[in-house]
Chain A
Amino acid sequence: MSASDVLIEPTSHGVNILKSAAPILVGIALAVGIQFLLPSTVGPYYSRLVIDAGIAMILAVSLNIVNGMTGQFSIGHAGFMTIGAYTAGSITFYSSLLIWGTAAKHGSFLGSGEWMFVIACLCGGITASIAGFVVGLPSLRLRGDYLAIVTLGFGEILRVVLQQTGKVVDNAETIRNAPLTTFATVPVGGAIGFDGIPKYTSLFWVYAFLAITVIFAYRLKRSSFGRAMLSVREDEIAAQAMGINTSRQKLLAFITAAFFAGVGGGLLAHESGVIISPKDAGFQRSFDYVIMTVLGGRGSITGVMLAAILLSALPEVLRDFERYRIIIYAALLIFMMLSRPQGLFGIHEIWDFFPKSWKTLPWKKSPREEAR
């Protein structure tokens, strides 16, 4: 019997693929359910809030990969989001103009326009992850506060550069006849922002992408790869001494986090009533996501999701006190840091707080019974 025979596992691969795809399938089924049931039950206002919360969750969970899991404190996350938003927005905007002659929404649910929008979001994610690689490079030399400052500088540079871009060209004929110099100035709206992006973002797409993001983040956290990231967070030098390639872990954390942030940005750009503008890249928006991550607990995916929901709902709850909204928000933040500095859940997930008997499903035998 040769060594290779021993290594072959007897289980069928088909079952494994189904097993690993199941959560995503369930997530997508849930997203379809939300898409068709929610607007008719709670109305457009709350549906819109649910979309906002979904995008906030995507961004907070992705930031959690860098800040929470790898411990690289980054305050430039909105920069990745904005790169994704501008890339995805310009792809759908200019392709719709060239294909259909108008930048209006094309096709209904899962129509041709929507597929273009999804591909554009993924492209946004890819561009953002390239930026994530570039921004992650300094993390190999800098740590702690210095890295935070560099990521902050990245967001601010991006903001200024976006302010210098050219005017949006919103006419198909003009684009066809325009000299190449029109595109040298990158026509994405300059300081006033990129307006007129077709509005494709729906509950389905937000929650489908959220499901993918969360399942990815959760599996990453449980994998040996994610464990290596967690060890970088706990003690970088010790992790290095244990043979972990900390540089690779840090860079990959930046790249993956930026990818999902870019996708989230793409979703945000196509949301109705939203104009993507340079100031979205600035550090004030990045702070929003940092605050979500910290309130939720660094490394706790469900905690961060809960914090994202709370913080996107809070402005609406406090709408009547518009003037005092941010004051209350800031006071809450300080109070939270003074009273529970590890965040809502610390490093735990939400089900770690459930009673033990909930964890095993009633029709399943507990491990102890199985052993018997």
Chain B
Amino acid sequence: MADFLQTLMTALAIGSLYALIALGYTMVYGVLKFINFAHSDIVVLGAWLSYSFAIRALPLVGLDAHNPATPPPIWMTAGIFVAVLALCSLAGFLIERLAYRPLRRAPRLNVLITAIGVSLLLQNVGQLDFVFGASPQKMPALLPNWELLRIPFGQGESIRYVVLPLIDCIIFAVSGLLMLALELLIFRSKFGTALRAVSFNTDFAALMGIPVDRAISLTFMLGSALAGAAGFLYVLKFPSMNQPAHSVWVLLGLKAFVAAVVGGIGNVRGAVLGGFIIAFVEQFGAYYISSNYRDVYVFSLLILILLIKPTGLLGSPVREKV
């Protein structure tokens, strides 16, 4: 019971991270109909930017940057978070403007290849010495190391505790708020209506006077901000950071992408659902079966779901015309 609850809570935290990243994939896919392979690199950018900011900001309040005794004041953590969001959305804007916009009318395969190129470029520029470097780092703690809950299970020697750390709660709360804000933005605002119109049919949306280019730019900025947030939260939960081109980051991005597909790519609520499903399958599979095969569960689930319902769980079937 204790193990089950603990796995459940980890799965919820990781699931909300996957959902945050998956939202970016799904929004870009919904509007431009291509897989933005460079999206996972925005997550990495967010993670490494938070590290760089933290390292420079902590000495300002008199803390040891690499090994702070106490967490910095909350305004500083929040400031780093906002700065990361801003820079990541700027990066998303630039990528769309420079690499994808010239290819708006090109075949999807070419855009896909360009995305792979952008991804390789970002990874390897990030590895350069004067950018982030190619060695792993340890993220300093920006939040107090509290345990919000500590529930005992069992008696005497076999007593087990279910621990809910603050960081899991923060991840859950922040990503929940961001998702709610996105939901409101897409389904309740004028911009969201424009976005959905562009997603439905770009040409008709343009005819109706919707500024298509601006809508697409904003999609990229929103998606990249969510990815940056995910990167920030990810390194707070898992402080040992791998180098920017490490396969761990690539896999994180791939799993989030799988989440978007499982939920039905192009569908915002599907991305959130998929994120949680993927995290549950991964965490429970890793705990109850074998942690060696955690990637296998994720990709097998993907193939299974695509075979049963090719457009994902919440995706709508595509009508094909000759």
Spell out A's residues near B (CB within 8 Å). 73, 138, 141-142, 144-146, 148-150, 152-154, 156-157, 159-161, 163-164, 235, 237-238, 241, 279, 282-284, 287, 290-291, 294, 298, 323, 326-327, 329-331, 333-334, 337-338, 341
Please tell me which stretch of B1-9, B55-63, B83-91, B301-309 contacts chain A, meaning at least 4 of its Cβ atoms lie within 8 angstroms of it. B301-309
User: Which among B106-114, B138-146, B201-209 touches the partner chain?
Assistant: B106-114
Size category of the B interface is 35 or more
Given contacts A161-B293, A291-B113, A327-B121, 18 further A-B contacts (CB under 8 A): A146-B311, A148-B112, A152-B254, A153-B299, A156-B295, A157-B300, A160-B293, A160-B295, A160-B296, A237-B322, A284-B247, A330-B118, A330-B120, A334-B114, A334-B121, A337-B113, A338-B102, A338-B114
Given the interface pairs A146-B310, A338-B102, the reply to whether A157 lies near B296 with Cβ below 8 Å is yes
Name the contact of B306 in the complex, choosing from A149, A164, A338 (C-beta under 8 A).
Answer: A149
> Are A341 and B103 within 8 A (Cβ)?
yes
Interface residues of B in 288-322 (CB under 8 A from A): 292-293, 295-296, 299-300, 302-303, 306-307, 310-311, 320-322
Partner of B120, one of A144, A329, A338: A329
Interface: B180 (CB within 8 A): no
Q: Are B254 and A156 in contact (CB under 8 A)?
A: yes
Residues of B contacting A279 with CB < 8 Å? 247
A33 CB to nearest B CB, Å: 36
Chain A to chain B contacts (Cβ below 8 Å), 27 pairs: A141-B307, A146-B310, A148-B35, A153-B258, A153-B303, A157-B295, A160-B293, A164-B292, A235-B322, A237-B321, A279-B247, A290-B113, A290-B116, A291-B116, A294-B113, A298-B109, A323-B128, A326-B120, A327-B124, A330-B118, A331-B117, A334-B114, A334-B121, A337-B110, A337-B111, A341-B103, A341-B106
Checking A138, A329, A333 against B303 with a beta-carbon cut-off of 8 angstroms, the contacting residue is A138
The residue of chain B having its C-beta at the shortest distance from the C-beta of A159 within the complex is B295
Q: Which residues of A contact B258 (CB under 8 A)?
A: 149, 153
Q: Are A150 and B293 in contact (CB under 8 A)?
A: no
* Complex Cα spacing A146 to B120, Å: 22
Q: Top 5 closest A-B pairs, CB basis?
A: A153-B299, A330-B120, A333-B117, A330-B121, A334-B117
B113 touches A333 (CB 8 A): yes
Chain B interface, >50% SS class: helix
The answer on a CB contact under 8 Å between B121 and A331 is yes
Evaluate contact between B295 and A141: CB separation under 8 angstroms: no
Q: Mark B269-296, 1 if CB is under 8 A from A, else 0.
A: 0000000000000000000000011011
Q: How far is the CA of A16 from the CA of B108 in the complex (A)?
A: 43
Inter-chain contact A237/B320, CB cutoff 8 Å: yes
B248 at the interface (CB under 8 A from A): no
Q: How far is the CA of A157 from the CA of B124 in the complex (A)?
A: 25
Point out the residues of chain A lying under 8 angstroms from B306, CB to CB. Answer: 138, 141-142, 146, 149-150
Question: Chain B residues near A294 (CB, 8 Å)?
Answer: 109-110, 113
A291 and B119 CA atoms in complex are apart in Å by: 13
Q: How far is the CB of A238 from chain B (nearest CB, A)?
A: 5
Contacting residue for A150 out of B113, B251, B302, CB 8 A: B302
- The answer for the CA separation of A294 and B108 in the assembled complex, in Å, is 12
Instruction: Find the B residue at minimum CB distance from A291.
Output: B113
Closest to B302 in A: A153
Residues of B within 8 A of A146 (CB): 261, 306, 310-311
User: How far, in angstroms, from A141 to B254 measured CA to CA in the complex?
Assistant: 22
Within the assembled complex, what's the spacing in Å between the Cα atoms of A42 and B305?
Answer: 53
B181: interface (CB < 8 Å): no
B172 within 8 A of A: no
What separation, in Å, do the CA atoms of A312 and B107 have in the docked complex?
A: 26
Residue of B nearest to A332 (CB): B117
Instruction: Please report the C-alpha to C-alpha distance between residue A362 and residue B108 in the assembled complex, in whole angstroms.
Output: 44
CB distance from A301 to the nearest CB of B (A): 18
Chain B contacts with A in 43-88, Cβ cutoff 8 A: none
B contact residues around A150 at 8 Å (CB): 302-303, 306
CB distance from B22 to the nearest CB of A (A): 13
Instruction: Confirm or deny: B99 has a beta carbon within 8 angstroms of a beta carbon on chain A.
Output: yes
Q: Is B164 an interface residue (CB 8 A)?
A: no
CA separation between A290 and B295, bound complex, in Å? Answer: 23
B169 at interface (Cβ–Cβ under 8 A)? no
A157/B320 in contact, CB under 8 A: no
CB closest residue in chain A, given B109: A73
Chain A residues within an 8 Å CB radius of B295: 156-157, 159-160
> CA–CA, A331 to B98, complex, Å?
12
Q: Which chain A residue has the least Cβ–Cβ distance from B308?
A: A141
